[in-house]
Chains A and B, each alone.
Chain A
Amino acid sequence: MSRATLAPPVTARDHIQGDASAAVTLVEYGDYECPHCGRAHPIIKAVQQRLGARLRFVFRNFPLTEAHPHAAHAAEAAESVAAHGGSDAFWTMHDLIFEPQQDLSDTSLGTLAGQAGVTADLVLADLAAERFVERVQEDFMSGVRSGVNGTPTFFIDGIRYDGPWDEESLTSALERAARRAKA
């Protein structure tokens, strides 16, 4: 059996929503152009609502660039927004990309960055300079090493979650993990 445990663990390098003291941590490896990840996005939001402060959520990039031509730039643009605008701007960008998930051309990514509060030109320059290629690749390879096998792949407290990820199933899996942490 594959161990499928998260490596490296969550650190300050990651994009994190919620507190380190939260009872349970959910890590998603995702691709901004993957339709399944798009479908998972509102589910994650709902699950975050339900678990509240007990949940810490982390997003790492896993762009499948052979299948999704815009996935790499979308990930790099989100990283660029994080670098220039900070964590809140990153999560705004993250939501903006996933919510419509239609046009992910560079121009459109620049416009979304603007809406997240970071000048489009900065982000487009970063894309042209390939400034965040390595960072995205680090995420990707950490995913491969951790047993990510497609997108989205979830880890609950560092263990790959192979179960269904509809709102009810994911919520109860996280509730169980949170109870275990408390016990």
Chain B
Amino acid sequence: MTTTQHSATPLAAGTPAPGFSLHATPDQLVSLEEFRGHPVILAFYPADWSPVCGDQMALYNELHSVFRRFHAELIGISVDGAWCHAAFREARKLHMPLLSDFEPKGAVARSYGVYREQDGTTERALFVIDGAGIIRWSYVSPLGVNPGADGILEALEQLPVGSPA
């Protein structure tokens, strides 16, 4: 991990996932607790519209049905505002919720150890959280590299079968 300067240490496997409640649309709040009982994949990404983020979300969009087999929900999080997310989702026909870590800016990213003070954005970071709300896998990708989905699928497979569901 010498390629990028990380601003903090991402929360590691075994840590309880910090709760949050963030806007998915201008009038809809989504909280992590709502997903209790099912695995959640949190994908922090630097910005709507940037080329790498667009590709990354397009790939996850394509894998919607694969994640569903694990009863897992993928959630994107960035510091962009809810209106920006709405336009990005519509333009790219994205299925997953995109949450706004907007006010106070980056607070949720900070609680997961993946906020980049120097840039004012989040790291490109992935967390797989089990049905009991415990982080089971985390990964921070070099900012310019789309991490793909192989790590996510491996982490989902390693969740105990019938884990608190």
Partner of A144, one of B58, B92, B148: B148
Cβ contacts under 8 Å, B145 to chain A: 149, 162
Contacts of A145-173 to chain B: CB distance below 8 A: 145-150, 162
- CB contacts under 8 Å to B, within A57-98, are 64-67
Interchain CA distance A148-B146 in the complex, whole Å: 9
The smallest beta-carbon distance between B73 and chain A, in angstroms, is: 17
Query: Are B153 and A67 in touch, CB under 8 angstroms?
Result: no
Residue of A nearest to B148 (CB): A149
The stretch that binds A, out of B17-25, B27-35, B59-67, B113-121, is B59-67
A64 engages B58 (CB within 8 Å): yes
**Which of A4, A65, A67 has its CB near the most chain B CB atoms (within 10 A)?**
A67
Shortest C-beta distance, B31 to chain A (Å), equals 27
Q: How many inter-chain residue pairs (CB < 8 Å) link A and B? A: 53
Q: How many residues of B contact A (CB 8 A)?
A: 22
B147 partner residues in chain A, CB cutoff 8 A? 2, 149
CA distance A144 to B92 in the complex (A): 20
Mask, A9-43, CB within 8 Å of B = 1, is 00000000000000000000000000000000000
- Distance in angstroms between the alpha carbons of A1 and B150 in the assembled complex: 12
- The answer to whether A144 and B153 have CB atoms under 8 Å apart is yes
**Given contact pairs A67-B93, A144-B153, A150-B56, a sample of 5 additional A-B residue pairs in the complex whose CB atoms are under 8 Å apart:** A2-B141, A65-B62, A66-B61, A144-B63, A145-B153
Interchain residue pairs with CB less than 8 A apart (23): A1-B1, A2-B141, A2-B148, A4-B148, A64-B59, A66-B58, A66-B62, A66-B95, A67-B62, A144-B59, A144-B149, A144-B150, A145-B150, A147-B150, A148-B59, A148-B148, A149-B56, A149-B146, A149-B149, A150-B58, A150-B59, A150-B146, A162-B145
A interface residues (Cβ-Cβ under 8 A, vs B)? 1-2, 4, 64-67, 140-141, 144-150, 162
